[in-house]
Copies of this chain bind each other. A is one copy, B any other.
Amino acid sequence: MSGSGSRIIVALDPPDDVNVVDWCLSIIGETRDLVAGYKIGLPLLVRLDSINELSLLARAMGDGLLRIVDLKLADIGDVMVSSIKPFIHYGFNYFIAHSFIGCRDGLGVLNSFLRENNAWLITVVSMSHRGSVEVMDSIVDRLLEVSVNVGAWGVVAPATRPEIIRFVRKHIGSRARILSPGIGPQGARPGDALMAGADYEIIGRMITRNSGPRHVVKEINKIHESLLGEG
């Protein structure tokens, strides 16, 4: 399976004892022809020596891949726009925000800014941890409605609860992609989310903490191909 056909998004969550840029560049270098994209987040951002190191990461990923910034944005629109400007500047093009905050003066402002900059919005409608059932999972329908209203490119729903993925797919049809975290240490197996209706599986430690990331990516691509009948 080529990179463009892969369903894997690699979450670049660095361990404690590394230079984060070198660590990311090494993983990217080993896997970029075999995956759909990469996701970076706050734990990486706060460990950069300088914000312009983002440029090195985006360039290493290359133009054809999803270059996702996962800050779980959940603020008023103007604040979210100010927060992502450097990431846009340095070449990232997909941004994850929470549906919870609503459209007006919120996601609507963010999405307009993204579209003007050839970038795309991905919204969270459910999460992989247990706390997600305390509030979010009981109002997934309303979070989906916000996501559809704002015109999100994709939504995030957890591989750890495939019934949520099925619910999301049923309600959004083909209007948005589904991206699923929670594979590996959090409990789901590669392929679980795809079989429930997801388009991409976001996989971190299972790939990045393995001594042979390229090998693991190939194995997971094979599992995906076999499950989807694309082998």
Chain A residues in the interface with B (C-beta under 8 A): 13, 41-43, 45-51, 71-77, 79, 82-83, 85-87, 98-108, 124, 127-136, 139, 142-143, 146
Contacts of A124 in B (CB 8 A): 74
Chain B residue at smallest Cβ distance from A136: B100
Distance in angstroms from A51 CB to nearest chain B CB is 6
Chain B residue at smallest Cβ distance from A131: B102
**SS class, residues of chain A in contact with chain B:** helix
How many copies of this chain sit in the oligomeric assembly?
Answer: 2
Given A72-B75, A135-B100, A130 contacting B105 (CB threshold 8 A): yes
Chain B residue at smallest Cβ distance from A73: B72
Q: Is the CB of B82 within 8 A of A43?
A: yes
Distance in angstroms from A114 CB to nearest chain B CB is 16
- The contact of A42 among B41, B79, B134, by CB within 8 Å, is B79
